[in-house]
Each structure stands twice: as structure tokens, then as C-alpha cells.
Structure 1
């Protein structure tokens, strides 16, 4: 759990980038290729992207741990937009910064490349720059149109929330695993990890949606605006033929029962069993029972990797869920938020 504490000055400095940043996208995409839990969008992307990975990209992957952690210096602050200034800033990272961020996590007997990076050798730095550039051009660019479109769609949703409800509405509706209670934003992960408290202290906060992560990531570097990466919206598409008659508004609860309907609505964003239990406010055992029934009915699918189960809606569930809820996907999300009030911690 990460608790982000705002001051009055921070509330006036909440921003988004107008478009995805090339180096951020490269790091998030490289991380996604080894992720255990993924959204359906990221899983589809990985099937086509993984065959494009080449040996020259290995230095980038060496800096991403099997758990998805990576050093802050991979995402430097740059003076200009585009990939070239970002790679230059990355290659200019002081050796002492690299050592401070890497050495505590490295096992003894590291390979020549990693030792060269720790020593600040020009060859290792160039290899990292080549790795990032090759990965961006050969793995990311072929799918950049879809990823950019999803980024833009999420910004559209956030703009609508800000215009119609203000900053409180924007922060409250970022993702089911993010809660906002002025002046604190809390992110909940799939596991019960120790609480981390971050004081913004007037630096503000940059929000960065990504379809390539299923959990929230936080970059907090001194003297920089902190960045919260959150899973971008993945909402079901409304069925044009769906009825909006108010008499059908509770049809889903009538059919499935209130709790099971809440479980299904909560999966407009994929979730692990722990995340899903937290969203709906029920026990893990009850969550497992409801997902078993929904899976047998063909409404959700479950992918299991190394002990983690990620649940997501099937194509069958999307029009059914929208029609039974009597409205647009945003209304489905809102009904889920009403449910979580009773027990979402």
C-alpha cells in the first residue's frame, strides 16, 4: 500500500503528459514482457511483441527484476521531448547514482556488462542506449498506434471527470485500486505489502496511464515531480442495441445476486483475487467461490501464473454487463464504487 499525501499546493499541480513518453513506454513495455499478472490488452500485445525481441536489447532487460522492479535512473528527467534526449540523459547518468541504485540488489559475481555499468564504462552505457533504441523501434513502434490510442482514450475519460466533477472526482475514479480521501491518495496492490507514505510537499503529482501494467507504480525522486503510473481504463464497449429502460437497472443483481453482480462489475478492470476481494469488500474465500461460478458461466476468464490468478471479463460478458446495468461503462464503474463503500479498506 502506498499513501500519497497532498498539500494545498499539490492539488494545484496535478498534471498529465499530453502523449506517451518514449522512454517510459519502453521501460513499461520491457517490464510487461516478463510480468506475471497482466491485463488482457497487455497479454495480447505480448503475444505479438515477444517474437520481436533481439539480443541487442538484453542490457535493458538486465535492469528489470523478475518481480518487475527497476532502478529510477532508467527514467531520467529530460530537457526535451522524444527518444533521443531521453537516451542521452540515461547515458549521462552519474556512475555514483547507478551504483547507489543497483549495488544493494545485485548478487555477487555479476557479469561483465553489469560491472561495466557500475564502473561507469562508456561501452556499457552505449550498450544500454542501443538496447533502448532497438527495443523502441523494433518492438514498440509496430504497436504504437494502439498503445497511443488507449493512452489518449484514458486522458479523455479523465478530462471529462475533471470538467464535470472537479479534481476530487478525477482522483476518486482513476482505478478501482486507488482511493482518494482528501488529502491522501492510496494505492492498493494485489498483496498486503508494508505501507509506504510519500509526502509530495508542494512538488505536485504527474499521472501516467498505461495499458501495459496491471498494478500501480510510483516514481519518487528528490527534486522531481513524482509520477504515479496506473492501469489505463479498459472499459467494456456499450451495445448499441442495449436497452436503457430504468426497469432493467437492477437486472444483473436480480439474476446473479447482489454480491456476485458486484464481483462482475468490479472486473471492468482485471484484478487478482486479492484485489477483487478488496474492491467488493468480501473475504478471499467468498471471492474465489464467486469467480468459480462466473468462470463456469463463461462470464470471466482466469489466468494463473506462479500462484497469482488474474481475473478478467470475457467478450461474452461485455455486452451482457452493459445491457444488464442499464447504461454506459462509466455507470458500471460508479455502481461498483457504491458497493465498495461497505468494506473496501
Structure 2
């Protein structure tokens, strides 16, 4: 059966059971950064469904105002219930840069795209057929692939990038908690620390789930991927061949998406302020792009402006460009006006 990701079609809750072998215990990993594709998928569905208004209401209102017609292709690909194609959330091998992520999607073998979209079409047959652009995508149309890449980039830029530093900060807080638990209590303690969302009953990890599912790792290990927009229950792929991944929800800080137009961000913009902070200890263009969830080209544009203002120093090291915050930039981060000596 073609792989697909499963979403609830009824309010009934079944069980996901992940079966570990002794080899799998030593191959459990927690993703070191948010996956932009999982955040696109989960946030788009949260946007459509309109659930959890207390946590996502402010974001939903602001994100909807920013969306453009280029994002409409995501609608039929990411229905609020039922299936969505696995090829939209591939294994990124630890490289969470948005350009790399979208490129990985577009490089999916055409046969796999066709299989996944045929399964999606079969699931939608009782409601309405897929639009022509999705059928063209299933046929490997270069124009349709280009539209998909544009849709993913545009949605991320408008709905996620303005909030990405806050999203990433909360995901990193969850990661810090998991790392401390792992160091203190080992893998057994790590897996046991996900209650109540995940319940560790060795050798099985169990969770409420939209459908009954048995996932046998068979020595392949498991990637635990935190997701800001994953809600209530975890998500996994249906493919038996894909690298096993379990996407789990994290705790949120109330009011995270409210307007904040004060401090350094209001002076130079939130993205440039985040770049300035990220470059304090020195960061490459790619590292900043990964951290902020924007393209390397966008980072280069922002650093050029910061460099022109004397706030960042950029030095090429081989094939990389290393950006470092200057004393004038540090002064701004400290909340004081840079003096002539800082420049």
C-alpha cells in the first residue's frame, strides 16, 4: 500500500503502539531543531480546523491576513481530516534549512509522488476530486512542481517566519528538557518522560491515536520530532519503508503570538534582531538560516544591511561566510546607544 500519513476521521481514539527491540533502545534520537515541513503541515491543518483558539487564535488571525493565492495549492494536499501524502514530510537527515527541505520534497521520485497522490485521490473520491494542478503534480509536471515549491516557501514566509524565533525558542526549551532527562535517566527515562502524551511500557511506546496502528521498529531506531503545531496526539507516517519518526506535541506559552512591537525588534525588525543575537558567538549564513527558518538568500540580504550599519562583521572562511556581531551590535543588544568607540 502506498505510504500516507493518517489523521482522524472520527472522534474515536484508538491506539498507536511502537514496538522496540533492544537495538532500538540505543537508536532513539530527539531532533535537534524544528522540521520546517512538519511545521508547515501541522500549522496549515491547525489554520483550517480552527481548533484550540486559546493557544492558536492570535496566530491564526494574523497568519490568515498574510496568506496569498500562492498558498491555495496546499488546501487539497493537506485536508483537515484523513490522509495527506508522506512525500511532503521526508526525512531531512538532520538538515532543517527550508531550502534543503523544499528541495527534498521536489526531488521525490515521480513514481512515489504519483503513488501518494493516487492514494489521496482515492480517499477524497467520496467528497470531491482533486483539482487539475494536483493531478498534474501526480503526473510529474515541472510547472506543478514549481507551484508546489512556491506554495511551501510562500506559506512558510507568511504564516511561520514572522513567528519563527518564538516557535524555535519553545521547541528548544522542550529539547533542553529532553536532553537533561536523557543525561539523568537514560533512554528509559527519556521515553518515560513524555507522559501523558506518550506512555512507555517497555518494550512498547503507546499513545492515543486516530486509528489503531502497530509500528515495529525492527532495529531501525526512532526519531522523536517535537512539533509546535502538533496538537493532542502524535503523528507518524504509515510507510513501513520510511525511517521511523514520531512527531509529538510540546507545551506552549500562552500569548506567544500576540503583537510585540517594543525593544530592538521594533527598531530594526524582529528577523534582523534575531540575526544580530544569533551572530554573537559567530554563525554562518546556513546556521542562521536554519535557526530562523528562512532562506540563506534572505539571511544574506539582512546581514548586508546589518553589515552596512556596522552591526555585523562578515568574513569568508573557505566556502562559508561567518557573521559576528560587532561591539556596536552588542551595544544595541544590551539596550544602550552605541558610542563612537563602538563603531
Does residue 142 in structure 1 map to residue 159 in structure 2? no
Residue 64 to residue 194, structure 1, CA distance change in 2 (3 Å):
closer
Is 1:87 the counterpart of 2:102? The answer is: yes
Residue 222 of structure 1 and its aligned partner are, at CA, apart by 4.2
Secondary structure of the corresponding residue to residue 34 of structure 2: coil
What's the RMSD between the two structures over aligned residues?
A: 2.1
- Post-superposition Cα deviations, 1:284-335, rounded to whole Å, max 9, x if no partner, equal xxxxxxxxxxxxxxxxxxxxxxxxxxxxxxxxxxxxxxxxxxxxxxxxxxxx
Distance 2:131 2:253 in 1: 44
Residue 43 of structure 1 is matched in structure 2 by 57
Change (3 A) 1:39 1:173: farther
Secondary structure (helix, strand or coil) at the match of 1:93 reads coil
The CA distance in 2 between the partners of 1:182 and 1:160, in whole Å, is 21
Matched residue, 1:101: 116
Q: Does 1:58 pair with 2:58?
A: no
* Conservation of the 8 A alpha-carbon contact between 1:151 and 1:211: yes
Does 1:211 pair with 2:225?
Answer: no
List alignment gaps of at least 5 residues for structure 2.
1-14, 255-343
Find the partner of 2:243 among 220, 225, 230. Answer: 225
- Return the match for 2:32 from 18, 21, 38: 18
- Counterpart check, 1:160 vs 2:180: yes
* Counterpart residue number, 1:196: 213
1:194 CA drift (Å): 4.4
How far is the alpha carbon of 1:228 from its aligned partner? 0.8
Alpha carbons 2:85, 2:117 under 8 Å: kept = yes
CA contact (8 A) 2:24 2:219 kept: yes
Alpha-carbon shift at residue 147 of structure 1 (Å): 0.5
1:276-295 superposed matches below 5 A: none
Bigger relative contact order, structure 1 or 2, given CA contacts below 8 A and separation 6+?
2
1:62 deviates by 2.0
Q: Which residue of 2 aligns with 1:176?
A: 196
TM-score normalized by the length of structure 1: 0.63
Q: Cα distance 1:220–1:202, how it changes in 2: closer, same or farther (>3 A)?
A: farther
Q: TM-score, normalization: structure 2?
A: 0.63
Comparing 75-84 and 65-74, the one that deviates more:
75-84
Cα drift, residue 157 of structure 1? 1.4
What is the rounded CA distance, in whole Å, between the counterparts of 1:154 and 1:33 in structure 2?
23
- Cα separation, 2, equivalents of 1:36 and 1:139: 15
Residue segments in structure 1 that go unaligned for 5+ positions in a row: 237-345
Separation in 2 of the partners of 1:196 and 1:81?
28
Tell me the SS of whatever aligns to 2:49: coil
The Cα of 1:109 is off from its aligned counterpart by: 4.4
Q: Distance in 2 between matches of 1:220 and 1:109?
A: 23
Matched ranges for 1:214-293 at <5 A: 214=231, 215-234=233-252
- Partners of 2:40 and 2:155 within 8 A in 1: yes
Q: Does residue 136 of structure 2 align to residue 116 of structure 1?
A: yes
TM-aligned CA distance change 1:19 to 1:67, over 3 Å: same
C-alpha contact 1:39 1:212 (8 A) present in aligned 2: no
